Homo-oligomer: A and B are copies of this chain.
Amino acid sequence: MADTIRVTVWNEYRHEKISDEIAAIYPEGIHGAIAAYLRGLPGVEVRTATLDEPEHGLTEQVLSQTDVLTWWGHMAHGEVSEEIVDRVQRRVVLEGMGLICLHSAHFSKPFKRLMGTTCNLRWREIGEKERIWVVEQGHPIAEGLGEYFEIPHTEMYGERFDIPAPDTLVFISWFQGGEVFRSGCCYHRGRGKVFYFRPGHETLPIYHQKEVLQVIGNAVRWAAPVKGPAPTFGNVKPLEDV
């Protein structure tokens, strides 16, 4: 665990190129904001990749050098090729890469593939307040947070969130308009780990907020691969002479 963690920050990167309003909030793209924060952490090496690059920037070589992949997408989930989704899934399940899915990436192809459910939810965009409660204080993703933190204006995501029950539920959100949401969800999938984190929106400066970035940083450390052998699958000989 002492080694450098190699992170690839992936972004759909469309909203920022179409909307001046969004570009003003994220002049280097959402990936730029997240990458800038992660670059400030010790022992973390960061690159970025975006949808419109060849192979969405996720070539076999890039993925093979990625310990943790963070994913943000929203308007163009459908344009992500099945081949790249296969590749991401394999890299997580068979080789242990961590995957951190942010906000609207609940509907991204890699997340839906790894969950097996629709990952659908209720939503509302009126800029209401969100209060994120820490319900598992001993989990490393909660390191350094208070009992809760607030996002003053956000898009609401509400239950029923159609996901498998997380292995560990770290955060639950309260929304001013009356909903709750499982906002920080940890999963083991094969040799890899997956974290879903709710906050974030293209028209709001949420990826500039201290606590949100801190959670993403904590999640990167939690999701880093664990050293061990590829599992043996298929036909095997008896281990016992019985």
Contact B232 A143 (CB under 8 A): no
* Cβ contact within 8 Å between B180 and A173: yes
In the bound complex, residues from chain B placing their C-beta under 8 Å from that of A33 are none
A44 at the interface (CB under 8 A from B): no
User: A242 and B176 in contact (CB under 8 A), knowing A94-B118, A96-B138, A159-B135?
Assistant: yes
Q: Do residues B162 and A164 form an inter-chain contact, with CB atoms below 8 A?
A: no
A 94-128 binary contact with B (CB < 8 Å = 1; else 0): 10100000000000000001111110111111101
Residues of A within 8 A of B (CB): 1-2, 42, 89, 93-94, 96, 113-118, 120-126, 128, 131, 133-140, 142-147, 158-162, 164-165, 167-169, 172-180, 182, 187-193, 221, 225-229, 231-240, 242
Q: Apart from A164-B187, A165-B188, list 7 A-B contacts with CB within 8 A.
A: A114-B116, A122-B233, A137-B228, A138-B188, A146-B229, A147-B160, A172-B182
